[in-house]
Amino acid sequence: MRIPVEAPSTAHLFPLMRAELLRVLNSLSADQWSAPTACAGWSVRDVALHILGDDVGLLSGLRDADNPRRQFNTFADLISFINERNGVWVEATRRMSRPVLLSLLDFLGAQWAEYAASVDPAAPAGPIGWTGNDQDPMGLHIARELTEYWMHHQHICEAVGVTSLKDERFFHAVLSTFIHCLPRTYAATAAPNGTLVQVVITGTGGGTWQLVREADRWRLYTQTDLVPTSVVTLDADTAWKLFTKGLDPAAISAGLHVEGDQRLGRVMETAIAIIA
């Protein structure tokens, strides 16, 4: 029996996540607001401004369908556009005071949470990109946005030495979303039908997932009756940083323990669950 992996239910987490972001930001000193983050060239303040930009973009595009549409010839063109747009937004909004920024994060965060709770999670919503699917349900799109907000929340917290939103409910929701990148990660990896790569993420928020080679593609399951050809084990902190390009190759290799087929298991080192 094979039980497919489904998109996690995440809409109820957005109000809690935004309240915690505001709590953390309100607790910071002026020096901490200026602290550098893992986002090259961006301070804590800049990352908070980027989160506000995500609010504006999501509400304008998804809820209101009222933002300019662009066509891109290549994936590289899309990435270049996103990076340029993000940089322009942060540069332009640095003139905001911290009180103005905090009030807007509160105001727009509530609107996004309301919208996320209103949509049909089963509705088709186009491809996410890093899943490798032609169509992804709205529930997975909403979960993807949760991972975006959570990732930048962690960038802020790590910059100021705070641990936040790493309890079971948030960490598991995030990892259960990121894991959907694996069929695309393995798309070009040859293996006989029925080959199973088992991925075990240990620690808070972790779990076990089954990646199976089938006739047309690799597919992701929560449970199968197959014997794994390769078992990949990594801890939760290594996992989220792997999925978001937050580790260098040497750290990734050291953080993954592979039993069985090393060739298959080490493909996991290339997993990416962000558009970057």
Q: According to the model, what pLDDT value does residue 7 have?
A: 93
CA distance 249 to 172: 24
Q: What pTM did the predictor assign?
A: 0.94
- The CATH code that applies to domain 183-270 is 3.30.1050.10
- 268 DSSP 8-state letter: G
Strand order, beta sheet including 3-4: 3-4, 218-223, 207-213, 196-202, 230-235, 257-260
Three-state secondary structure string covering 64-122: CCCCCCCCCCCHHHHHHHHHHHHHHHHHHHCCCCHHHHHHHHHHHHHHHHHHHHHCCCC
Question: Which class in CATH covers the domain with range 3-165?
Answer: mainly alpha
The amino acid at residue 101 is L
Q: What is the mean pLDDT of each run of 10 residues along the chain (276 residues)?
A: 93 98 98 96 97 96 85 72 85 96 98 98 92 94 98 98 97 98 97 97 97 96 96 97 95 96 97 87
Q: According to the model, what pLDDT value does residue 75 have?
A: 65
Q: According to the model, what pLDDT value does residue 77 have?
A: 73
Q: Where are the domains of the chain?
A: 3-165, 183-270
CA distance 210 to 180: 11
